[in-house]
Structure 1
């Protein structure tokens, strides 16, 4: 099996990287894909969510497989998981250049969540430069986008000037994303007809198309 390997990366903390990774993992399973998530972030938030998910839903109900490892083992672990899964999703750490580089190098596509604020937009360049240096295509995802605001629209325009592809799908700033994770679930499971669930589903489809 030739798995699609996707790394969610953002060297600035607080961009919603792990939240996005968890929701995408479940969205991919809803598309009948077998999914493994690899958590190399020392905070282990994705692993904690997965353990809660297992506890609430059981092994069979969890739908994804999670692996928490050290960054230097990423390549071997991804290769192992790629033999049995359609998608391997890597949650990479912020502020750790070596581990982030390993995670990017292992991927076929890097998904870069960016909040529409000046600090977030400015801080995204190192992540894009890392992906470019490793010759891995990057897809910028506008995350936690407020419903309205002149500043947000200005920053969205700035994102378009960063030199990487920007996803058409945007993820709004919605409480339900965190609320779903607190139950070991994803938004598509707790509010399947909501706008939030539709945003994640659209992004999941767009990411798979971008990943080839």
Structure 2
């Protein structure tokens, strides 16, 4: 479980892109204690994808991830994780301490991907527009609701159900924390789990009256 509050970024160090045995090594940037309590089998959100640590070195500040074929189908990994030196967003799993809970409940289970189609400056913020690959997920996106874009918890500013397009607005601080993505890039999208659960229950209930 995550919050969608990105802690730092990581650099793709080694990419073993055999589809049947896809492994990636990530070098953590600007966060010396990120792996201080890491254990084999821990979950780390990597640009919104909950992935399992299979090897790490806390002193050298790197960790290795194993990636399933299902994850490759759902996410941007095959499109965007192609070059050593590229950056991804990182967040450790939620702890049990007395920290304040920002963002929203995030599983790291990516639903679909979206293309960045616009980035318009407005004051100190930038308004981004995204187009979903799988339009059926539009029904779970609502104005002033939330979702994650590459692991970052963001508020939806508008949604066009017919086109599968939605927008978010990012302040300067958020943009500085996140890995940079130009227009035309693809990002991982996780919609609000609550909306999916409600939709499922309503569907099951209504089916009782249509049989």
User: Structure 2 length as normaliser, TM-score?
Assistant: 0.28
Higher relative contact order (CA 8 A, sep 6+): 1
Question: Per residue, is there more helix in 1 or in 2?
Answer: 1
Question: Per residue, is there more strand in 1 or in 2?
Answer: 2
User: Structure 1 length as normaliser, TM-score?
Assistant: 0.28
